[in-house]
Amino acid sequence: MKISRAFLLSSLFILPFFAGAALADDPPPITLAQSKVFTASSDKEQHFADSINLQNGQDKLHLTLTYTDGSDSSPSFKWIRIASPSMNYVTEAQFADKKVLAIDVTGELANDGNQLLVTAAGPVGATFSWKLTTPQPRITGVNPATVNSGSHVVISGHNFCPDVANDTVTVDGQNFTVTDATPHNLVVKIPQQFKGGTVEAKVKVAGLDAGTAKFTIQSVPFLKSVDSAWVAAGAPFTITGSNFGTNKSLVQVWVGPYEANVTAVTPTSITAVSPLIYIEKPMGFYQPLKVIVNGVKASNQLTISTSGNL
């Protein structure tokens, strides 16, 4: 099945609705980075400095930074302020009476060097820590379920990386090219001559496993060469290539506008007879060869010249 560019673009807007429709059973979030526990050594003003480092592409994911002030076994600070060159300033008013403060920092971080400057006041033994998390990337669907080699498939899901350089889709150890990406969709190019069958594509986004996408690839026939540049009308010729199958009743060959009789088929060759009508039409030079296997037109363009004996 061939996917039009219009379909791909519309899918990027339609599929997110379905991808986000049933997330009630989401797995626990993934911790990307976390601090040590900072402890107040006195009841005077304390200063802590830290930085958040991420792998490539993780800065493009949905990110939550959770600050923890105190614990079940240690007291909280009386007040905390957090400054950062990239993130919004956090004040003691935001903590109020909370021990845990979770802030959405999506789009505010870079891959590395995200500095945190924490200023806080005692009591002695008060603790502070932070943790950066992201929802587990996951796959929710594939469209279409059956796709021709050389075409595209859209993998839909949740919390994908919109930077194609940091998304990988792998089938049997071979990487498929991700041509477009949004947080909810990956558009993937199927290699032109990839073998047919049902596959399970392993998907990773920004280094995180998103699961596997199962779909069926239908191999498109490919024309490689023809055994002769010229053939007499009524004489056989052989086309070589791939994905032709073995059932000659499913194979059709045209020389120009006229159908040729197919006499033999293997997965890599087709033997046909040049149409006799070219005896009466001697100008059958450089006629295009068209091959259809089980309703699918072969890719690549070959020509052959044919006529009555000269």
pLDDT in tens, the chain (310 residues): 444 444 444 444 344 433 333 445 678 999 999 999 999 999 999 999 999 999 999 999 999 999 999 999 999 999 999 999 989 999 999 988 889 999 999 999 988 779 999 999 989 999 999 999 999 999 999 999 999 888 999 999 999 999 999 999 999 999 999 999 999 999 999 998 788 889 999 999 999 999 999 999 988 899 999 999 999 999 999 999 988 989 999 999 999 999 999 999 999 999 999 999 998 877 788 999 999 998 889 989 999 999 875 4
Name 288's bridge partners.
303
Per-residue model confidence (pLDDT) at position 115:
93
* Single residue among 218, 248, 276 that ends a domain in this structure: 218
The reply to whether 174 and 81 lie within a common domain is no
Residues 49, 67 within the same domain: yes
The answer on 210 and 194 residing in a single domain is: yes
pLDDT at 145: 95
CA–CA distance, 134 with 66 (Å, rounded to integer) = 11
Instruction: Kindly state whether residues 16 and 142 are assigned to the same domain.
Output: yes
Domain boundary among 134, 155, 173: 134
- The DSSP code for 76 is P
Give Cβ neighbours of residue 100 (< 8 Å, ≥ 6 apart): 66, 67, 68, 69
Q: Please give the tally of structural domains in the chain.
A: 3
Domain that residue 155 falls in:
5-23+136-218
Looking at the structure, do residues 143 and 128 belong to the same domain, yes or no?
Answer: no
Rounded Cα distance, 61 and 158, in Å: 10
Residue type, 244: F
| Residues 192, 173, 147: CA angle, nearest 5 degrees | 35
pTM: 0.76
Does one domain contain both 301 and 250?
yes
Which pLDDT does position 13 carry in this prediction?
39
Give 261's strand partners: 273
CATH of the domain at 79: 2.60.120
Is the same domain home to 117 and 38? Answer: yes
**What are the C-alpha distances in Å from 206 to residues 94, 157, 209, 258, 306?**
31, 14, 9, 53, 56
CB 80 within 8 A of CB 158: no
Q: According to the model, what pLDDT value does residue 20 have?
A: 39
Residue at which a domain ends, from 218, 246, 276: 218
Output b/e per residue, 40-75; b: 16+ Cβ within 10 A.
beeeeebebebebebeebbbbbbbbbbbbbbeeeee
